[in-house]
Amino acid sequence: QSALTQSASVSGSPGQSITIFCTGTSSDIGSSNLVSWFQQHPGKAPKLIIYEGNKRPSGLSNRFSGSTSDNTASLTISGLQAEDEADYYCCSYARSGAFVIFGGGTKLTVL
């Protein structure tokens, strides 16, 4: 099972919006709405920010939003803030092979 594909890095200025894409196949992202996104700051455990494609955990800022279309998932962060600088990982349930696969991660830099 190959990893999901994410761009290595993305950047934006405070207040701007950015979108991170995650590409998979019909066996994973395209097979269900079970796509999650995680934020990880250096030296910390990952934190769930989106689940089931577009749902936010309770208490999470609505600046974070997710969507899926065919075999691609996306994470949009609006109104960028300095504390959003982190690594972001997509994750999907996979219908064949391993149950769960991650993307390679995208490093977000807030300029």
Partner 1 sequence: EVQLVESGGGFVHPGRSLRLSCAASGFTFDDSAMHWVRQAPGKGLEWVSGISWNSGSIGYADSVKGRFTISRDNAKNSLYLQMNSLRAEDTAFYYCAKDMQFILTGAFDRWGQGTLVTVSS
- What is the closest distance, in whole angstroms, from the C-beta atom of residue 43 to partner 1 in the complex? 10
List the beta strands (DSSP E) in 45-111. Answer: 47-50, 64-69, 72-77, 86-93, 100-102, 106-110
Under DSSP, is residue 29 helix (H, G, I), strand (E, B) or coil? helix
Q: Does 61 bind partner 1 (CB under 8 A)?
A: no
Q: Are 3 and 102 in contact (CB under 8 A)?
A: yes
* Choice from 19, 61, 97, 111 touching partner 1 (CB under 8 A): 97
Nearer to partner 1, 55 or 79 (CB): 55
* Choice from 75, 105, 108, 110 touching partner 1 (CB under 8 A): 105
Which long-range contacts (C-beta less than 8 Å, at least 24 apart) are formed by 43-47?
46/89
Per CB under 8 A, which region of 9-17, 68-76, 78-86, 88-96 contacts partner 1? Answer: 88-96
What kind and span of H or E run contains 40?
strand 35-40
* Choice from 1, 9, 17, 61 touching partner 1 (CB under 8 A): 1
User: By CB under 8 A, what part of segment 19-48 binds partner 1?
Assistant: 34-36, 38, 40, 45-48
- What is the closest distance, in whole angstroms, from the C-beta atom of residue 83 to partner 1 in the complex? 19
Q: What are phi and psi of 65, to 5 degrees?
A: -145, 150
